Amino acid sequence: MNESDCESRPAPVPKRSTLERCVAAGVCVVVVLCAVAVIQRDRLRAWWWTRQWLGAVDAEHRRGYQTLLTAMGDDAAPSLLPLLADERAEVRAAAAGMLIRASGRDVRAALTAALSDSNAAVRDEAAHVLAFAHGESALAELSREVFNARGDVALAICVAIGRMETDAAGRFLADILRHHPEPDVRAQAAELLGLRRDAAATAALTERLSDDAPVDRMLFIERRARDAAAFAASSGSGAAVDGDMRRGWRVADYVHRALEQIRSPEEGPATSQPVAGGST
């Protein structure tokens, strides 16, 4: 080997120690984590606020966190969706309500599943959010599911459809009134058509004026009135009401009441007396 060969050969690069390699890797990890935190900062914030909300004892603090989480919309969904399976009904209901600004199929699917919840408040909250946040995108699916569902689940789906502010929802309610096999669900459809003052449903309602099937379950408006009265009674501003406000009513009674509301909307709510048969 001559002297010129030695001069042209590059000097060997010194190997980095294990410590140096670990430090470099650690710096890279920190940089990546910081980047993820910046990109996902809203979701991380939602996760933290959810934990704080669950642990808050003071009602005012809980309401504050609920307001923040509701405003975050889709960013809060990953933290709120698991709460729909919480063992506490009040947590499930609140989580459903806070999803009102969240969109996406996963949210809609979770809320639709919540219509089968064992707790009426959870079902009502899920129906409310589906109606106002998802509307048309959920209507077709719910209109199919209502005929497969039974009992409280079918009632919850009917309420969700009835609270959607579209003409199509009114047509689906009329279809439920005509064809659903359960009297409670037919009565719920009639009640909602009356609340909507849906004149296009007059023909469907008239067809059911002779529906003498008894209604066994408390329907949506009755539950709301009962809950409002119970709250007023607990706060000392009113008296509690009988839980069986319309005991003995038939489908025809709800149909008659709905027709009164449609024909005389300027007179306010129609009479709550049955047209025949059962008594209040």
Domains of the chain listed by start with CATH number: 42-134 (1.25.10.10), 135-280 (no CATH)
8 Å CB contact between 101 and 133: yes
Q: Quick one: CA dihedral 143, 149, 154, 160, positive or negative?
A: negative
User: What's the mean pLDDT when you consider all of the chain?
Assistant: 79
- Write the DSSP symbol of residue 86: -
Look at residue 31 and tell me whether its pLDDT is greater than 60.
Answer: no
For 89-115, how does the pLDDT look when each residue is reduced to its tens digit (9 = 90+)? Answer: 999 999 999 998 888 888 988 998 888
pLDDT band with cut points at 50, 70 and 90 for residue 276: very low
User: Which of 149-186 are b and which e, b meaning 16 or more Cβ less than 10 Å from the residue's Cβ?
Assistant: beebbbbbbbbbbbbbeeeebbbbbbbbbeebebbbbb
8 Å CB contact between 184 and 158: no
As given in the structure block, the two tokens for residue 248 are 């003995």
Look at residue 11 and tell me whether its pLDDT is greater than 80.
Answer: no
8 Å CB contact between 156 and 126: yes
Look at residue 239 and tell me whether its pLDDT is greater than 50.
Answer: yes
More confident residue, 271 or 119: 119
Share in percent of the chain as helix, strand, coil (round to 5): 70, 0, 30
pLDDT band with cut points at 50, 70 and 90 for residue 191: very high
Mean pLDDT over residues 25-37, rounded?
Answer: 58
Instruction: Please give the pLDDT value at position 90.
Output: 93
8 Å CB contact between 49 and 77: no
Q: Tell me which residue of 80, 170, 59 sits closest to 125, measured CA to CA.
A: 80
pLDDT band with cut points at 50, 70 and 90 for residue 19: low
> Residue 234 phi/psi, 5° resolution?
-70, -25
8 Å CB contact between 160 and 140: no
More confident residue, 229 or 280: 229
Look at residue 7 and tell me whether its pLDDT is greater than 70.
Answer: no
8 Å CB contact between 133 and 102: yes
pLDDT band with cut points at 50, 70 and 90 for residue 279: very low
Range with lowest mean pLDDT among 21-30, 135-144, 231-240, 268-277: 268-277
> Residue 166 phi/psi, 5° resolution?
-135, 155
> Rounded to two decimals, what is the model's pTM?
0.65
The tally of CA atoms less than 13 A away on the side-chain side of residue 158 is 31
Mean pLDDT over residues 85-90, rounded?
Answer: 93
8 Å CB contact between 79 and 46: yes
CA separation for the pair 69, 52 (Å, rounded): 11
For 243-264, how does the pLDDT look when each residue is reduced to its tens digit (9 = 90+)? Answer: 445 668 899 999 999 999 888 8
Instruction: Please give the pLDDT value at position 40.
Output: 52
Q: Tell me which residue of 97, 213, 149, 145 sits closest to 190, measured CA to CA.
A: 213
